[in-house]
Structure 1
Amino acid sequence: MAKAPSTPTRVASDIAATATAVASAENRSVAEQVNHWARIGMLVDRSGSVGNRRLLAVVSGQDQFSSLGRDERVAAHALVDARIAELAAAQSFGASARADGQTTVSVDDEGTLTEIAPDGSRRPL
């Protein structure tokens, strides 16, 4: 089977790190692992099954986790965790905290902790 052409895209760093850790054990490249997970998620998301509707009802707060079986609860928690991570990644909590006069700490791409004062001055930690 020929490989489909790829489109460059960005992947959240936590997903990339997990895919890197899992890919070799699954005999996949990191890109293949991310694509594998994306396809599973797409299938679940597009599924109109009763099970999927039950999961979505729980995740949206219309039903209780206790109404689900063990495996369904695991899937529902994963959906909630993914949504929280998605929303948190889109937020800039530091800017709000600094506007309120609080000092914040940030991690740069190299993993260096930096203290950021309300005036915007930075100090490596």
Structure 2
Amino acid sequence: MTRTSQPTRLPSDVYESAVAAARVASRTVPQQIAHWARIGRELEMSPQVNHRAIARVLSGADSYDSLGEQEQAIVREEWTERVTALREELNYEAAFAAAGEPYSEADEDGNVVVRRARG
């Protein structure tokens, strides 16, 4: 049976991790990603993983400490993805400019640079 693949966009960190893992495992990048997808599918279908409990923790209705080790690992990964997505949306320069406030930041060499308020 011939299978066709659909183009899929991946976050750059996932792709870069797949490149590194593929080298170690002697796989192509698509093979590595498919391997991880199969593991994820099996994990989600596993009777040892309580998906309802994970959903309760992710929604804030239950405590992280109530989960087992596997569930905690899944929640940590989800939290990491959510935090990364939120950080990518941040634009402090625009927020300070809109407020008319100066701000400081470190340059590439670690030196403090004060940015003046525009306007």
The TM-score normalised by the length of structure 2 is: 0.63
**Equivalent residue, structure 1, for 2:87:** 88
The one-letter amino acid of 2:4's match is: A
Deviations 1:81-125 (CA, angstroms, capped at 9, x unpaired): 112212322x13233244443245688xxxxxxx79455xxxxxx
Q: Give the drift of 1:44.
A: 6.2
RMSD (CA atoms) = 3.4
Query: Are the structure 2 counterparts of residues 105 and 35 from structure 1 closer, same or farther at C-alpha, using a change threshold of 3 Å?
Result: farther
Structure 1 residue runs without a partner (length 5+): 108-114, 120-125
The one-letter amino acid of 1:25's match is: V
* In structure 2, distance between residues paired with 1:56 and 1:99: 37
The TM-score normalised by the length of structure 1 is: 0.61
Structure 2 residue runs without a partner (length 5+): none
**Equivalent residue, structure 1, for 2:77:** 78
Q: Give the drift of 1:13.
A: 2.2
**Equivalent residue, structure 1, for 2:14:** 15
* In structure 1, distance between residues paired with 2:43 and 2:64: 18
Bigger radius of gyration among the two: 2
Query: Are the structure 2 counterparts of residues 59 and 44 from structure 1 closer, same or farther at C-alpha, using a change threshold of 3 Å?
Result: farther
Q: Tell me if the contact between 1:44 and 1:52 (Cα under 8 Å) persists in the aligned partners.
A: no
Of all paired residues, the percent bearing the same amino acid is 29
